[in-house]
Amino acid sequence: MPQLTAPDVRFHASFLDAVREFTEADPDASALIGEGTGPYARTWGEPEGFTAFVDMLCAETERPRRPDWVPMTNLWYVQGDIFLGRLSIRHRLSPFLLELGGHIGYAVRPSARRQGHATAMLREALPLCRQLGIERALVTCDSTNTASRKVIEANGGEFEDRRGVKLRYWIRTGN
Ligand SMILES: CC(C)(COP(=O)(O)OP(=O)(O)OC[C@H]1O[C@@H](n2cnc3c(N)ncnc32)[C@H](O)[C@@H]1OP(=O)(O)O)[C@@H](O)C(=O)NCCC(=O)NCCS
């Protein structure tokens, strides 16, 4: 069964495969793998560079990579040693996140799409949000992103409004 787990160096080979897929699908793969990962991308092909990347991801609960970002929990969706996707839970909403970004961001590697993984990993993330004190999670998507809209709605997303290109939904994280 696939599961959400903390980033770990044991996924190195599969992560690099996934990056190749992301890059073929969209040259701006950093948007899918995570914004601001550029400096790490230069060295994550090597074990030391990948360790530094994983350490940075795990430390973001305390020290976000950018000074204007809020603390967040980064998780990978994996099956065995295979990296399937990523999901990040932002611990609180900054004005930007309240307007557009939301509490949760996610992406699934192209070869693993349309198998229900995004729907399942968002479902698995909701109790974790609850543990972080988030009673209602804001999740947003572009109005053209049909797949993400379906993922949000399948997880009980209640549509609030549209701001620019973003559709904004709230999901209750518990009863
Ligand atoms: C959006 C994304 C995470 C969906 O991942 P996924 O694992 O393929 O999603 P699921 O398999 O759970 O599919 C959810 C629904 O979307 C549908 N779907 C998936 N890809 C689709 C596509 N390209 N076009 C239309 N519908 C699509 C599925 O059929 C499914 O519909 P159903 O519930 O009616 O069966 C993935 O396409 C992705 O990583 N995209 C790039 C990053 C991104 O957009 N992240 C979200 C930012 S808000």
pTM for the model = 0.96
- Between 38 and 28, name the one with better pLDDT: 38
For the chain, which domains are there?
Answer: 3-172 (3.40.630.30)
What pLDDT does 30 receive? Answer: 67
| Residue 112 Cα: closest atom of ligand 1 | 7
Do the Cβ atoms of 54 and 92 come closer than 8 Å? Answer: no
Query: pLDDT of 150-162, one tens digit each?
Result: 999 999 999 999 9
What pLDDT does 29 receive? Answer: 72
With cut-offs at 50, 70 and 90, classify the pLDDT of residue 31: low
Closest-CA residue to 138 (of 96, 94, 104, 89):
104
Do the Cβ atoms of 108 and 80 come closer than 8 Å? Answer: no
Token pair 């601001």 is at which residue?
Answer: 36
| Residue 140 Cα: closest atom of ligand 1 | 48
Distance 113 CA to ligand 1 centre (A): 7
Do the Cβ atoms of 86 and 95 come closer than 8 Å? Answer: no
Find the range with the poorest average confidence among 30-34, 36-40, 126-130, 159-163: 30-34
Token pair 């991801």 is at which residue?
Answer: 57
Distance 146 CA to ligand 1 centre (A): 7
Query: pLDDT of 105-144, one tens digit each?
Result: 999 999 999 999 999 999 999 999 999 999 999 999 999 9
Which residues are near ligand 1 (CB < 6 Å)?
32, 106-108, 113-119, 141, 145-148, 150-151, 154
Ligand 1 test: best mutation among 30, 88, 114, 146, most atoms within 8 Å of CB? 114
| Residue 109 Cα: closest atom of ligand 1 | 39
Q: How does DSSP classify residue 66?
A: S
What's the token pair of residue 108?
């699934």
Query: pLDDT of 65-103, one tens digit each?
Result: 999 999 999 999 999 999 999 999 999 999 999 999 999
- Between 114 and 37, name the one with better pLDDT: 114
Ligand 1 test: best mutation among 121, 124, 148, most atoms within 8 Å of CB? 148
